[in-house]
Structure 1
Amino acid sequence: MHIVENNGGKSGSRLHRFMDIELELGPAVLVPREETAILGNAAIAILKDRAPGAHVIDMCCGSGNLGLAIASKVPSARVWSADLTDSTVAVARRNADRLGVADRVTIAQGDLFGAFDGLDLAGSIDLVVCNPPYISSARLEGDRSELLESEPREAFDGGPYGLSIHQRLIREAQAFLKPGGWLAFEFGEGQDRQVAALLARARAYAPVSFATDISNAPRVAIARKLDPA
């Protein structure tokens, strides 16, 4: 974590550096971890191999860190970000304004892809990225309860097995991705086999590849949507 200073403008807010951009954080949002930069760098590498003007969705955007890092480092990209709560969305919108990319980053509020109802994005997206909650509810009541002391439960609670949002993400992203588009998302240490099984069961993606952390543990899944033809 790299908290750089207090920000007196908003109660409880502070500034944080992630992938060379400075973000406002607050009690309503997750503090971006170093593992999430693995996802961000993988996303940028994918986009640099695609034509300019890529369309990107950043799901479960929190402070907006992933979508805003992508928009900052890939100036031709158009990003749609979403999260569930109004307080989180407000922070992400302030960060888009702070970084001067609000003209290319739309931040919507809603339940996963339902946030984009009426925007006509189906079948138009080159890349979906997501850092979903992935800790089981039971662990948040036990050995990981310290996480809830200063950050919101919604940022961590992934349901009974930690993969409830992943299941929906894999299923619902299909309608938004172009054939040949990419889905990339973070997951918890030791969840790679379950993630691979979920993607295989969807029968909509090529075999998954994984990006690893500094200890060589898989932490990011990268899967290409198959062409139905």
Structure 2
Amino acid sequence: MAAAAREAALIIEAAQRIEPGNWVQAANAMIARRAAGIPLAYVTGRETFMGLTLLTDEGALVPRAETELLARTAIGLLAGEDRRVIDMCCGSGNLACAIAHHVRHARVWASDLTEGCTSLARRNVAQLGLADRVSVVQGDLFGGLAGMSLEGTIDAVVCNPPYISQGKLATDRAELLKFEPREAFDGGPYGLSIHQRVIRDTLSFLKPEGALMFEIGLGQERQVRALFERSKGYGPVQSVSDADGNARVVWARKAG
């Protein structure tokens, strides 16, 4: 009941914001979209992440509450002045914006493959007043950062990659693709294709002792640890668990 009341309040607020002169009709249309299963954040055009109100759009994944664990881990590691950060697979820009907001003077570069993500990320950066410290680029992983002389200068790379296997997306997780973009979920045959590439390519961008931090899916800790260790470019691998004791963040520092 409380959840339903909260949804109703958010829909009314959104309708009054979008169509103040005809908000009842707008609210009814939003209720119909929500009843069809469309995520609430797409219906209202807003989602909250790390205390920030972000714009949402169907071209990018809706920011999840569980990703705040990665944000908090990164913010804790980045305490200090003049930090330089890359948000890889940035989606709506939620991690980039949260880090820039919470880490004083941090300079952030956010990258994603699709126009839907980078366009929305730029809108979020602008509406939060962070355009002087957050740049958004489009490209295949680090390809969009080529020629920017960032190699060897980065304190941390954060990455919430697609990490669901193609097999699961074809079976028990197929419902994820009904409303949100496939690119946000499809991690290849084993759900680890992007992790492998990012672990390899991040090394040239990090300073010595710089950190690479991933959000991972349930049960992926062992595999992602093995990828870090196999690369031989990182120090001891750390994990961070959620409130239920599940490892959801794995990270390591570049070997000095």
The answer, yes or no, to whether TM exceeds 0.5 is: yes
| Cα shift readout 1:26-49 (whole Å, capped 9, x = no counterpart) | 11111111221000000000011x
1:60 to 77, 80, 89: 89
Write out aligned runs for 1:117-132 (5 A).
Answer: 117-132=146-161
Separation in 2, partners of 1:152, 1:113: 21
Deviation at 1:86, TM superposition (A): 1.1
Bigger CA radius of gyration: 2
Deviates more, 1:122-131 or 1:28-37: 28-37
Deviates more, 1:150-159 or 1:28-37: 28-37
5+ long unaligned stretches in structure 1: none
1:46 corresponds to which residue?
77
Amino acid of the structure 1 residue aligned with 2:48: R
SS at 1:208 equivalent: strand
Deviation at 1:215, TM superposition (A): 1.0
SS at 1:38 equivalent: helix
Does the alignment pair 1:80 with 2:70?
no
Return the TM-score normalized by structure 1. 0.94
SS at 2:137 equivalent: strand
**Cα RMSD between the aligned structures?**
1.8
SS at 1:195 equivalent: helix
Separation in 2, partners of 1:88, 1:41: 22
Does the alignment pair 1:69 with 2:107?
no
Q: Which has the higher contact order (CA 8 A, sep 6+)?
A: 1
Separation in 2, partners of 1:144, 1:192: 20
1:26 corresponds to which residue?
57
2:213 corresponds to which residue?
184
Return the TM-score normalized by structure 2. 0.84
Write 1 or 2 for the structure with the bigger share of helix.
2
Q: Please tell me whether the aligned partners of residues 12 and 26 of structure 1 are also in contact (alpha carbons under 8 angstroms).
A: no
Deviation at 1:12, TM superposition (A): 6.5
1:94 to 110, 123, 131: 123
Does the alignment pair 1:199 with 2:199?
no
5+ long unaligned stretches in structure 2: 20-41
| Cα shift readout 1:58-84 (whole Å, capped 9, x = no counterpart) | 000000000100000112100000000
The runs of at least 4 aligned residues of structure 1 exceeding 4 Å deviation read 1-5
2:35 corresponds to which residue?
none
